């Protein structure tokens, strides 16, 4: 009988130890998921296209949408950049009813966002750069960057996303053209 | 000796299966940490920001979400009607009430993955504020269902669970201070197709 109790106590001990371990594993797995995910936005985009290449995120361009949860009344396009190679300039001439822009870091966190009310004349012209590059640019601002919006982001790799509102079907070609004319380039300085 | 090995294995099995499984479950349920509830509507204002909690961060990484920024807008998701029942694609609902200040809003019927419901028709299962008829007091009444209805009609189709996604763009409520006294429309069930 005493043997039975001893065995039960050891079993209970093992189960409690297991539950404590489960707690530790839970926290460890939770913190490691963002590090090792191969399904995050960056990985999905890198499968679809290269750096500095605009890629449509909505399903309208054909094929399944690259990134989930895009409003069906919106078109979206994205490009990946690496500030380690230099600052990146995003331009999109033309007017649409509403556009908004978000800069994400490598793990898909929104670092900065703005919309067409922020831009001069509603035209999208933005430069993403690191604080160190910003200091260099401030010293001698080039003529053609005067009207641009500067987004200072303390990141290296990142994603730039443009979203544009499509109120109804008649706006589809106009918004599509807006995206076709958009560019995402490494800016020499 | 064999008993010791068995107990060690048992502890390890509980730790790994329990730990991994609980993370998987926590990321699967819709109602997570950091949610803000207004009536039937749920929003995650912090999702996708660097200040998000670890669960939101893991969900963002696992699902490849690129969340709307504060200057862009804020999304609300509803999964139940005012009676507390789950929204069904075969049912007809009335969405009624005032909408908070925003440049415009969009509303669409979504499936489990929060993608828009496929209707198989040219009409999209979505509406936007520039294209709705308003009441004299500026409130909006929307009828959602399979069959055409007068006023504002949100087309839905199919069977099974449904969600409504309401997104406000360029809105002051996206900043945390604005969310306290916001009221959102009610979702009332009208009837269901047998």
Tell me: the pLDDT tens digits for B157-171?
888 999 999 999 988
Q: What ipTM score was computed for the predicted complex, to two decimals?
A: 0.82
Residues A18 and A93 in one domain: no
Distance CA B109, CA B77 (A): 10
Residues A4 and A77 in one domain: no
- Domains within chain B, CATH numbers bracketed: 34-53+69-192 (2.60.120.600)
Helix (H, G, I), strand (E, B) or coil at A154: coil
Residues A20 and A50 in one domain: no
Q: What is the pLDDT of residue B46?
A: 79
pLDDT band of residue A69 (cuts 50, 70, 90) is low
Residues A132 and A162 in one domain: yes
Mean pLDDT of chain B: 86
pTM of the complete model: 0.85
Residues A130 and A115 in one domain: yes
Residues A182 and A132 in one domain: yes
Range of the domain at A31: 1-36
CA angle A105, A109, A112 (to 5 degrees): 75
Residues A130 and A174 in one domain: yes
Number of structural domains in chain A:
2
| Residue from A108, A124, A149 to probe the interface with B (highest B Cβ count within 10 Å) | A108
Distance CA B150, CA B140 (A): 13
Residues A127 and A147 in one domain: yes
Residues A101 and A144 in one domain: yes
3-state secondary structure chain B: CHHHHHHHHHHHHHHHHHHHHHHHHHHHCCCCCCCEEECCEEECCCCCCCCCCHHHHHHHHHHCCCCCCCCCEEEEEECECCCCCECECCEEEEEEECCCCCCEEEEEEECCCCCECCCCCCCCCEEEHHHCCECCCCCEEEEEECCCCCCEEEECCCCCECEEEEEEECCHHHCHHHHCCCCCCEEEEEEECC
Check if B104 contacts A (Cβ < 8 Å): yes
Contact criterion met (CB < 8 Å) for B58 and A108: no
Residues A108 and A129 in one domain: yes
Mean pLDDT of chain A: 86
Of B14, B65, B106, the CB nearest to A68: B65
Tell me: the pLDDT tens digits for A101-138?
999 988 888 899 998 888 878 889 999 999 998 988 88
Residues A100 and A76 in one domain: yes
Q: For residue A122, give the CATH number of its domain.
A: 2.60.40
| Residue from B20, B66, B73, B168 to probe the interface with A (highest A Cβ count within 10 Å) | B66
Residues A24 and A72 in one domain: no
């Amino acid at each position: 009988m005493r043997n039975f109790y001893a065995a039960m106590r050891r079993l209970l001990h093992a189960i409690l130890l297991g539950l404590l371990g489960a707690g530790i594993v839970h926290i460890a797995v939770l913190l490691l998921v963002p590090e090792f995910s191969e399904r995050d936005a960056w990985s999905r985009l890198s499968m679809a296209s290269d750096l500095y290449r605009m890629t449509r995120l909505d399903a309208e361009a054909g094929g399944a949408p690259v990134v989930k949860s895009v409003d069906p009344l919106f078109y979206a396009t994205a490009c990946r950049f690496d500030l380690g190679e230099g600052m990146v300039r995003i331009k999109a001439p033309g007017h649409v009813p509403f556009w908004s822009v978000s800069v994400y870091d490598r793990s898909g966190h929104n670092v900065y966002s703005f919309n067409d009310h922020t831009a001069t004349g509603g035209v999208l012209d933005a430069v993403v750069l690191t604080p160190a590059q910003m200091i260099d640019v401030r010293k001698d601002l080039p003529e053609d960057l005067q009207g641009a919006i500067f987004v200072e982001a303390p990141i290296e790799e990142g994603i730039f996303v443009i979203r544009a509102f499509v109120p109804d079907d008649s706006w589809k070609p106009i918004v599509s053209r807006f995206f076709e004319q958009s560019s995402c380039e490494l800016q020499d300085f | 000796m064999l008993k010791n090995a068995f107990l060690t294995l048992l502890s390890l099995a509980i730790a790994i299966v329990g730990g991994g499984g609980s993370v998987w479950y926590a990321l699967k349920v819709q109602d997570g940490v950091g949610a803000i509830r207004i009536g039937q509507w749920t929003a995650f204002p912090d999702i996708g920001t660097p200040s998000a909690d670890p669960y939101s961060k893991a969900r963002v990484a696992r699902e490849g979400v690129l969340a709307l920024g504060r200057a862009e807008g804020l999304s609300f998701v509803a999964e139940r009607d005012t009676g507390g029942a789950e929204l069904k694609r075969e049912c007809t609902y009335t969405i009624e009430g005032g909408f908070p200040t925003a440049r415009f809003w969009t509303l669409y019927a979504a499936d489990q993955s929060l993608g828009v419901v496929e209707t198989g028709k040219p009409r999209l299962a979505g509406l936007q504020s520039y294209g709705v008829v308003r009441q004299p007091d500026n409130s909006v009444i929307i009828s959602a269902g399979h069959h055409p209805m007068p006023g504002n009609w949100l087309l839905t189709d199919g069977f099974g669970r449904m969600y409504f996604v309401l997104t406000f763009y360029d809105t002051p409520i996206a900043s945390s201070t604005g969310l306290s006294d916001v009221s959102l429309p009610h979702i009332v069930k009208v009837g269901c197709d047998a």
